[in-house]
């Protein structure tokens, strides 16, 4: 005899099929199979929400672990290197870090401006004695800002799904519960009996939906808060790095 | 027209982050969890069945519920059937026989033989008359102790022409009942009395008040030696002439009054 939880247990003990032993009709599967189509739909949607939210949670945890490790390495490389080109060479192996994207955007913008300053973009005469200089520090700042924005989007991708799951899963479960109780009362009205044998199956069916909703929602709430906090930390690191990059560029390439 | 870093940023934004694989893994784990739930041995996610069978057995004073099924249908079964409980075994103490309770009897009213104690010495009873009492003959008015301000001081009645006066007056009335009537009379006479004569003297005027209040028989009973004083006193009484009727409580038909007039400059 397979029993799911205490509420279901009450029905299963009362149901005549309980003596048939293991099988389809006595366990959770039997409970679900005997329930209404709407209740099955509720449980299916909650299952999907749970699958998605758990997948996102695990994936983002793995992603943040990778991001934080590579960011630390990238900052080490950046501060030990004397030239931007050395950092650029290391970027390929640290592609997961958002600082890589910020640095590459700034580096591309910086190179473009310096190329313009040297005058080799139009095929004109190159002045070898001229010191390369930035044409616009604001443009570089804007490029870094764009890159930081893109990286933030990458960090926060999929996280709102967790918030949505945390919000609506209990409500979906509640809906299934209410619907199950409606069906149970209909059964009471049809049989004209108030015995537990009539009331309990519908109630238990309904409570399974609530339990499933909470099962999906509780981890989603936890991981949403956890990931939001880690996103803020990485965002702060990105801003800090962008300002550092801007300072170095201004110091070395200002006219 | 394209920004220099745009290609790079777009490429990073569109990079596949590998969520699909995690989704597949999550689906597998969920299915595994459901399978575990379904195929778990007894007792993993539920109470052991043997213990659980007793959980739903209801015993509410009625006969014991079924041993199997875990549930007792309440319908059609008296839930409050009176069951004779086996009598508790208690040690029986050896007790002495209790005394018979007193019979309830109606109290018989005994003859009250109490008497007043006889006085040892003979006490002669004072007659009621000696105590100033007299037998009542019905409702009657009795003089109370309320004092009325009659404007007259002292026990006598008289008029004086100065100072405090009035102390030496004479009242030739026998136990007159109504002091307020006398006050009215004196007030009326005083209004017509010319007391300023610059001579010291005392005049007693005698007169009679009839039942209707009319003053008659005015005469100077004792003169002062001065004609002016005597006439002034007599004129005051004569000028008054009519005063309120005698009070009904006064039994006689007329009242004789000797009124003293004192002149003091």
pLDDT for residue A83: 83
Q: Model confidence at A68, in pLDDT bands (50, 70, 90)?
A: very high
pLDDT > 90? residue A233: yes
pLDDT for residue A241: 92
pLDDT > 60? residue B183: yes
User: Hey, are the CB atoms on B45 and A4 less than 8 Å from each other?
Assistant: yes
A31, closest residue in chain B (CA to CA): B38
Q: Model confidence at A240, in pLDDT bands (50, 70, 90)?
A: very high
Which tops the pLDDT comparison, A22 or B187? B187
User: Hey, are the CB atoms on B75 and A104 less than 8 Å from each other?
Assistant: no
pLDDT > 70? residue A139: yes
User: Hey, are the CB atoms on A112 and B30 less than 8 Å from each other?
Assistant: no
Structural domains in chain B plus CATH codes: 158-263 (3.30.1150)
pLDDT for residue A7: 37
A116 reaches B (C-beta below 8 A):
no
User: Hey, are the CB atoms on B5 and A150 less than 8 Å from each other?
Assistant: no
* pLDDT one-digit tens code per residue, A142-181: 999 999 999 999 899 899 999 999 999 999 999 999 988 8
> Could you tell me which of B154, B166, B215 has the C-alpha nearest to residue B195?
B166
Most confident option among A20-24, A25-29, B57-61, B93-97: B93-97
Listed range (A110-119, A239-248, B50-59) with the worst mean pLDDT: B50-59
pLDDT > 70? residue A4: no
Size (chain B), residues: 265
Which candidate from A3, A56, A146 shows the least CB-CB separation from B45? A3
pLDDT for residue B149: 63
Which tops the pLDDT comparison, A65 or B43? A65
For A215-247, letters b (16+ CB in 10 Å) and e give bbbebbbebbeebeebbeebbebbeebbeebbe
Q: Model confidence at B80, in pLDDT bands (50, 70, 90)?
A: low
Flag whether the pTM goes above 0.95: no
User: Hey, are the CB atoms on B17 and A63 less than 8 Å from each other?
Assistant: yes
Q: Model confidence at B257, in pLDDT bands (50, 70, 90)?
A: confident
pLDDT > 70? residue B1: no
pLDDT for residue A74: 92
B77, closest residue in chain A (CA to CA): A195
Interface of B with A (CB under 8 A): 3-5, 8-9, 12-13, 15, 17-19, 22-23, 25-27, 29-30, 37-40, 42, 45-47, 49, 52-53, 56, 69-71, 73-75
Give chain A's mean pLDDT: 81
Which candidate from B19, B39, B74 shows the least CB-CB separation from A55? B19
pLDDT for residue B156: 46
User: Hey, are the CB atoms on B71 and A147 less than 8 Å from each other?
Assistant: no
pLDDT for residue A46: 94
Q: How close B36 comes to chain A (CA, Å)?
A: 11
Which candidate from A3, A52, A112 shows the least CB-CB separation from B46? A3
CA distance A244 to B17: 28
Contacts of B1 (CB under 8 A, 6+ apart): none
- Label residue B166 left, alpha or beta by phi (over 0 means left) and psi (-120 to 50 means alpha): left
Interface test with A, best of B1, B4, B15, B39 (most A CBs within 10 A): B4
A115 reaches B (C-beta below 8 A):
no
* pLDDT one-digit tens code per residue, B103-136: 888 877 766 666 677 767 776 776 666 666 666 6
A196, closest residue in chain B (CA to CA): B73
pLDDT for residue A242: 92
Listed range (A189-193, B153-157, B230-234, B252-256) with the worst mean pLDDT: B153-157
Give chain B's mean pLDDT: 73
Stretch A79-98: mean pLDDT: 86
Which candidate from B4, B5, B69 shows the least CB-CB separation from A14? B69
Residue reference for tokens 């739903």: B56
CA distance A12 to A200: 9
Which candidate from B22, B40, B46 shows the least CB-CB separation from A58? B22
Parse chain A into domains and list their residue ranges: 1-34, 36-253
Pairing of strands B158-160, B255-263: parallel
Listed in sequence order, the DSSP H helices in chain A are: 5-14, 28-34, 37-80, 84-90, 98-118, 137-156, 159-191, 196-253
pLDDT for residue A50: 94
A112 reaches B (C-beta below 8 A):
yes
B3, closest residue in chain A (CA to CA): A109
CA distance A28 to A11: 11
pLDDT for residue A63: 92
pLDDT for residue B229: 87
pLDDT > 50? residue B14: yes
What proportion of chain B, given as a percentage, has pLDDT over 90?
3
Q: A91: helix, coil or strand?
A: helix
Instruction: Tell me A134's DSSP state.
Output: -
User: Hey, are the CB atoms on B25 and A55 less than 8 Å from each other?
Assistant: yes
CA distance A166 to A218: 7
Residues of B with Cβ-Cβ distance to A154 under 8 angstroms: 12-13, 15, 17
A30 reaches B (C-beta below 8 A):
no
Q: How many CB pairs under 8 A join A and B?
A: 114
- What tokens appear for B131 in the block? 């105590």
pLDDT > 60? residue A3: no
Interface ipTM: 0.70
User: Hey, are the CB atoms on B39 and A55 less than 8 Å from each other?
Assistant: no
Which candidate from A50, A59, A146 shows the least CB-CB separation from B22? A59
Report the Cα B135 to chain-centroid distance in Å: 40
């Amino acid at each position: 005899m397979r029993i799911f939880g205490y509420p279901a247990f009450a029905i299963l003990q009362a149901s005549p099929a309980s003596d048939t032993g293991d099988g389809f009709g006595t366990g959770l599967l039997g409970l679900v199979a005997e329930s209404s189509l709407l209740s099955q739909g509720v449980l299916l949607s909650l299952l999907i929400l749970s699958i998605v939210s758990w997948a996102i949670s695990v994936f983002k945890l793995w992603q943040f672990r990778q991001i934080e490790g590579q960011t630390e390495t990238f900052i080490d490389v950046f501060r030990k290197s004397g030239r931007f080109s050395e950092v650029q060479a290391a970027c390929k192996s640290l592609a997961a870090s958002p600082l890589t994207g910020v640095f590459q955007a700034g580096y591309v913008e910086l190179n473009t401006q310096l190329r313009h300053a040297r005058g080799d973009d139009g095929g004109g005469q190159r002045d070898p004695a001229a010191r390369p200089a930035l044409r616009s520090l604001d443009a570089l700042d804007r490029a870094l800002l764009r890159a930081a924005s893109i990286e933030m989007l990458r960090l926060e991708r999929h996280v709102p799904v967790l918030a949505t799951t945390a919000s609506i899963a209990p409500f979906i479960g509640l809906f299934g519960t209410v619907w199950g109780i409606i069906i149970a009362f209909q059964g009471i009205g049809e049989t004209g009996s108030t015995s537990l044998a009539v009331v309990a199956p519908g109630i238990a069916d309904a409570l399974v939906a609530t339990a499933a909703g909470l099962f999906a929602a509780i981890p989603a709430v936890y991981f949403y808060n956890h990931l939001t906090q880690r996103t803020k930390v990485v965002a702060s690191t990105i801003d800090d790095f962008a300002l550092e990059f801007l300072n170095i560029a201004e110091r070395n390439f200002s006219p | 027209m394209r920004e220099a870093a745009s290609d790079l940023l777009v490429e990073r934004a569109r990079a596949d982050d590998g969520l699909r694989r995690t989704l597949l893994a999550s689906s597998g784990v969920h299915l595994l969890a459901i399978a575990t739930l379904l195929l778990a041995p007894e007792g993993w996610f539920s109470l052991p069945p043997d213990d659980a069978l007793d959980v739903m057995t209801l015993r509410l004073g009625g006969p014991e519920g079924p041993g199997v099924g875990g549930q007792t249908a309440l319908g059609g079964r008296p839930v409050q059937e009176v069951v004779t409980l086996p009598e508790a075994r208690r040690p029986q103490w050896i007790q002495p026989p209790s005394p018979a309770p007193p019979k309830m009897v109606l109290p018989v009213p005994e003859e009250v033989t109490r008497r007043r104690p006889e006085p040892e010495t003979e006490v002669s009873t004072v007659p009621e008359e000696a105590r100033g009492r007299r037998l009542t003959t019905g409702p009657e008015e009795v003089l109370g102790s309320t004092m009325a301000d009659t404007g007259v001081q002292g026990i006598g009645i008289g008029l004086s022409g100065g100072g405090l006066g009035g102390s030496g007056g004479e009242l030739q009335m026998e136990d007159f009942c109504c002091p307020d009537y006398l006050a009215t009379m004196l007030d009326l006479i005083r209004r017509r009395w010319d007391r300023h004569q610059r001579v010291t003297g005392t005049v007693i005027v005698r007169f009679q008040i009839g039942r209707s209040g009319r003053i008659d028989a005015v005469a100077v009973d004792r003169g002062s030696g001065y004609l002016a004083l005597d006439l002034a006193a007599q004129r005051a009484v004569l000028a008054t002439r009519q005063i309120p009727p005698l009070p009904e409580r006064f039994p006689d038909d007329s009242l004789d009054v000797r009124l003293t007039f004192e002149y003091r400059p």
